[in-house]
Amino acid sequence: MTGAPEPRTVGFQPGERNVFFHLLTACNLRCRHCYINPAEHGTATLPLATVQRWLKLFARPERETNLILLGGEPTLHPDLAAIIRAAKSLRYAVTVDTNGYLFHDLLDRVTPQELDYLSFSLDGPDALVNDPIRGEGVFVNCTANIRRAVAAGFTTSCIYTVSGLNIDHLHRMPALLEELGVRRFFIQVIGLRGNPAHCETGSAASWQVEPARWLATVPEVAAEAARRSIHVIFPKVYLDPGEVFQCAGLVAENFFIFPNGRVYQCPLCEDHPIHAFEIEGDRLVRREGLTEARFFPLAIPEGCVMNRLLQPDNISYHPDGTPVHRISCCLLKQELRPQAG
């Protein structure tokens, strides 16, 4: 496509803070690519009082902190509205990531002023693509509630997890999102953790998207979405030649909190008990020993050391042993903002 706008890499900023808070691991769906691992993340639903105390642990009123409330399905939490208000009182910018079912009448219990973004997961432009991945009836329910949220004045976004099962339909998403009134589009790459990491032998390959296919598809779709006045964010999966690798674990503050008190800095590590921090007695405690943080400073030709250790099948090599593509930090993003006019 000629004349396509170039995506901008969003470098890590000093003091940047993102808190990904899993309030529970329960969910009404059984998505085939779900990354939640109850054996490692717990099965509890955190009480409101506990959530409020833990929010204070990570709050920095003097800095902007993005808070993403997750599950499982976070709208299954009966106190989600109160949690949102507690977070806003601590000056968090609050996003709720939902599968679209919006339990406990969430849209009636919070206002658009109390919630910065309401983000819906959708993995196909129609039920024929989406529902085999996420569950029967999900597409109809999710898109109906997107329309309700937009009509009520909530700023909405959509998350599309790209895999071998749906990448051929990604190009159809910008038109759908424009029609729904979605303002922001997150394109994610499938990670081999949770369900995909524990599927039957050989089937994991069907999830993966080879580099050439990703690079030929995702930036072009992002450009089309930007032309439709949608802000697009997607991972910079592969570094450009000569581009310096940076690990978010060293240059930014990202915390992935689970109901059992584990706090990770790298989402690739979440299937393993190597979390850098743990919440003990309402205190954030740095763990000793061999944790994820010990690996972050390691410099390797492949780029991300955690990807090399945990997802080595993502990397291919030239005959001389050098990697064909260097893998960036999974938290490094590219974006295309809506085009003027």
Read off the pLDDT band of 202 (50, 70, 90): very low
pLDDT at residue 201 tops 70: no
* AA identity, residue 297: P
pLDDT tens string 302-338: 999 998 988 887 788 999 999 999 999 989 999 999 8
Distance CA 212, CA 230 (A): 25
Distance CA 143, CA 138 (A): 8
pLDDT at residue 198 tops 70: no
CA-closest candidate to residue 99, choices 181, 175, 26: 26
3-state secondary structure of 221: helix
Close Cβ partners of 6 (under 8 Å, ≥ 6 residues apart): none
Query: Exposed e or buried b for every residue in 187-225, given b needs 16+ CB within 10 A?
Result: bbbbbbbbbbbeeeeeebeebbbeeeebeebbbebbbbb
pLDDT at residue 114 tops 70: yes
Read off the pLDDT band of 213 (50, 70, 90): very high
Residue 264 β-bridge partners: 256
pLDDT at residue 19 tops 60: yes
